[in-house]
Copies of this chain bind each other. A is one copy, B any other.
């Protein structure tokens, strides 16, 4: 049912596919690293499983493999980047680097991006800041699948937020989460198992609570983090909205229900108010606030104290954001990355298109 692949094998395959659609060597490398970071970290929905989707967007001429990516407006601490319809996997690291360079000069850097595409996992881009002793932030808007509180209309994407914070001896704090109760990838896993969702993840076309993992195909919607009004869904709705506005209204990308859909077969929305998908990146130099070593030692203290918090019955430990993904990375770099059969078949088809063996 599933096959195990070494990272190096997935790397050379993915790199070759990106080269085949016309990416430069450097862009193919950048895109491959960003995409596979999801597989390594255990976020299987956002890794090679999406490679054929990117290729289809390229075929539909919605992704330009040789984009002109440029800064179109800037101040000492901000920039707007036009992604030139490029792979988000290439545009995002470019924009995050702009944020890092600005932070190096004036303390912080904030970059809003338009005319881009799906950028893989937000955490990968946020983590670029860590090696510079900076806090990194990344967010993106996405195809509308989420209904606001009290609504049945899909107005927002799963709009993730990632924040990466360096520590000293402890591993970094890395939060990376969709602003919905459950990410779409979780539904896909249940669909493959023919299983129901828990209550509170999705609603049907009329706004009634549902446990149908296929409800998005029946005009249902994902629910904002909090699930319903009584449990704070208006907060998840606000968070998803903030991500949408920072990523797309600030930059001039297409926002809300007009965000371009990921599946190439879905027609583009009418009357789009901006260009492509939007992202938002931030970098804050730790020593723009206090000496970096002092900050990082306090982060060690923070992490150690939270890890020592008394666990609830049935649990042996309290996790720090980033722990599960880092532990998964250690395992998968050693033992390989499991890919489900349907994705392996899909990758083989993509390989056949370009004469690239998996």
Contact = CB atoms under 8 A, between A and B. Distances in A.
A289 interface: yes
A324 B284 CA distance: 34
B245 A165 contact: yes
B151 A108 contact: no
A281 B249 CA distance: 21
Contacts of A149: 318-319
Given A207-B313, A249-B295, A108 B306 contact: no
Interface stretch (A17-25, A31-39, A74-82, A89-97): A74-82
B151 A232 contact: no
A200 B75 CA distance: 45
A20 B317 CA distance: 49
Nearest to A324: B234
Interface string A288-330: 1110000100110110011001111101011101000000000
Contact of A155 (B107, B198, B235, B309): B309
B153 A206 contact: no
Interface string A122-157: 000000000000000000000000011111110100
Given A257-B305, A319-B149, A241 B76 contact: no
A163 B80 CA distance: 20
Contacts of A227: 227, 231
A252 interface: yes
A250 B309 contact: no
Interface stretch (A57-65, A175-183, A337-345, A350-358): A175-183
A318 B181 contact: no
Given A177-B235, A234-B319, A250-B290, A75 B107 contact: yes
A83 to B, nearest CB: 15
B80 A175 contact: no
Interface of A: 73, 75-78, 80, 106-108, 110, 112, 147-153, 155, 163, 165, 173, 175, 177-182, 198, 200-201, 203, 206-207, 225-227, 230-232, 234-239, 241-242, 244-245, 249-252, 255-257, 273-274, 284-286, 288-290, 295, 298-299, 301-302, 305-306, 309-313, 315, 317-319, 321
Given A153-B318, A227-B227, 11 more contacts: A73-B290, A75-B288, A77-B106, A110-B284, A150-B315, A151-B315, A201-B231, A206-B312, A206-B313, A239-B239, A273-B298
The 4 closest A-B pairs by CB, nearest first: A207-B312, A75-B107, A175-B238, A78-B107
29 contacts: A76-B77, A77-B106, A78-B284, A78-B289, A80-B290, A107-B110, A110-B284, A147-B309, A147-B312, A150-B315, A151-B311, A151-B315, A152-B310, A155-B309, A175-B235, A175-B241, A177-B234, A181-B226, A198-B231, A206-B313, A207-B313, A226-B232, A227-B227, A250-B289, A251-B290, A255-B302, A256-B302, A256-B306, A274-B298
